[in-house]
Structure 1
Amino acid sequence: MTAITFRGTGDSMGVPRVYCDCPVCEEARSGNRNRRYRSLVQIDDDNAGTMMIDCGPDWGRQMEAAGLRIVDRILITHAHFDHIGGLVEWADACRWLGKSGEAYAPSEVIKEIADRFPWLQRQIHFHAIDTPVQFGDWVTSCWRVNHGKNGYAYAYRFDNAATGKAWAYCSDAIGLTEEQQKPLYGLDLLVLGTSFYKEEFPYDTRSVYDVTEAAGLLRIWQPKRTVFTHMSHDIDLRREYELPEHSAFAETGMQLFI
């Protein structure tokens, strides 16, 4: 059994925005249901240990919420700040604990990180995941996806040959080609980034699917279950939305088993 816990469900700015007094941000300050740290999932598996996907600037608070001091490994989707801003804090934790952090990312992502933070490699060992890697019973692969005006990101797919289960994490994507969509077909679980319910900004200025676009894709991909993450302050968890069948918005601390 593998547990997936949503430690962060927010977009690049998180919720609340410091400048914003919209109803969602106000509720996030007082009631906390809409409070969203930057997107991150924690994966706990008896045979693979504890790992995370991404390490954004809220990583320290997310570790505290999880009751963790160290993590076995972190997979990185791309080198944008909201996905790597916590690497400095992780490196410092490794230094104080006398441990080496184990990070996995595609070669081009590792290069971007190394160019920006060359000293991180003193404490964190970066492994290229350009071909599938096995963690416990899960064969883990990643592939490049379009990230709209923000360039590119990577999505991760996990396959368990023993159980036949498969799930994927695709937090930052829009305008996927047919080839990029192929690993998303027929999953037991899909975690998909959708910053807005219906995003009104011009398409060429956008970087992530919205929920209405995702609904059309889910009819094609046919996952058994979908959880939406990477949400902006457009989405209010107190509201009722028309969502595709077998889908839901992620909430901080939400845990799934696969």
Structure 2
Amino acid sequence: MRVTLLGTGDTTGTPTVGCDCETCGAARERGVERSRFSVHVENERTDESILIDFSPDFRHQFLTHDVDLPDAAVITHIHFDHIDGLGNAYRVFDSLPVYAADEVDPQTGESVADTVRDKYDYLDTVTVHDVTPFEPIEVCGLELTFVPVDHPPLVCYGLVIEDPQTGAKLSLSGDTSYDVPEESRQQLRDPDLFLVDGIVPASLCEYHPIGGADHDADGVPRTFGTKHMTREGALSLAADLDAETTRLVHTAHYYPADEAFEEPLAVDGEQYRLDESGVTRLDTDADPRFDQ
């Protein structure tokens, strides 16, 4: 299984348009980008691939990174930075199955699958498949499971993707607070690679209108507001799940410049191979941080 991080940023990305903060300036100087979230997962045995979330930066991501167009796609929730790139399917795909959860969201009165189906009804090449959370399905020769997480006020899902032949396991937290349900944690547990939402460091919670939540024993907030984990919360969840390798994604340009490019914060273009031997990073020559 080859995993490419196409988009590792939050809703505005880094650098953010029109922003001259130190972090955005440093990203421009380093040639580092965190576009809106998207992950490409290739089953190298079958030469098929899955796209996790359709970023609004879809076109740029696929022109920039050496990956094939996906054979299937997954949508974790209906926020624009995870779904609005699906319009790019027009005249690009002959056929594209899209998988999304079938649970009805009390906030919208429809499931994620229903929303995708209704919003993109003009895309004749797209077929939406309803998936029940916690029930594994086979996509491109891999086993995929949706797991509910906590991203109020909308429903949102993390993902587990496993290779039934090699035993390799990729877990994605999805957009979530630290308050991930226990049943979902059990599904996410023991990944070779864990991609986890860590939008800002905990120190910035003092600037959020409602502060932080889910404090640890030392009083450090593991949730920023209500919707996303802090860096500290993300690392705490990774430790709880016994992740072999952890990368923080969906990160914001609010990270101070001297922290924004430190490990384990991911940047666009990172690539990993997951197999019987564990996790191997493939892109170190292309990551500007390795030249610092």
2:22 paired residue number: 23
For 2:68 and 2:42, locate their aligned partners in 1 and report how far apart those are by CA, in whole Å: 15
The question of 1:185 aligning with 2:189 is answered yes
Identical aligned residues as a percent: 25
Does the CA-based 8 Å contact 1:188-1:223 persist in structure 2? yes
For 1:242 and 1:59, locate their aligned partners in 2 and report how far apart those are by CA, in whole Å: 26
2:146 counterpart letter in structure 1:
C
Structure (1 or 2) with the greater helix fraction: 1
Relative to 1, partners in 2 of residues 1:71 and 1:236: Cα closer, same or farther, differing over 3 Å? farther
2:34 partner SS: coil
Relative to 1, partners in 2 of residues 1:206 and 1:92: Cα closer, same or farther, differing over 3 Å? farther
Does the CA-based 8 Å contact 1:54-1:75 persist in structure 2? yes
Displacement of 1:177 in angstroms is 2.3
Relative to 1, partners in 2 of residues 1:239 and 1:53: Cα closer, same or farther, differing over 3 Å? same
Question: Residue 252 of structure 1: which of 242, 258, 268 is its match?
Answer: 268
1:142 counterpart letter in structure 2:
F
For 1:101 and 1:161, locate their aligned partners in 2 and report how far apart those are by CA, in whole Å: 23
TM-score scaled by length of structure 2: 0.77
The within-5 A match list for 1:91-170 is: 91-94=90-93, 99-107=94-102, 108-120=111-123, 122-130=124-132, 131-148=135-152, 150-170=153-173
Give unmatched runs, 5+ long, in structure 1: none
| Count of residues in correspondence between the two structures | 246
Does the CA-based 8 Å contact 2:7-2:55 persist in structure 1? no
1:253 counterpart letter in structure 2:
G
CA-atom RMSD in angstroms: 2.3
| Stretch of structure 1 that moved more, 122-131 or 222-231 | 122-131
1:213 partner SS: helix
TM-score scaled by length of structure 1: 0.86
1:256 counterpart letter in structure 2:
Y
Does the CA-based 8 Å contact 2:72-2:139 persist in structure 1? no
Give unmatched runs, 5+ long, in structure 2: 103-110, 214-224, 275-292
Provide, for residues 72-93 of structure 1, a one-character-per-residue CA deviation record: whole Å limited to 9, x for no partner: 1111111110001111112242
The within-5 A match list for 1:41-52 is: 41-46=39-44, 47=46, 49-52=48-51
The question of 1:203 aligning with 2:224 is answered no
For 1:236 and 1:177, locate their aligned partners in 2 and report how far apart those are by CA, in whole Å: 31
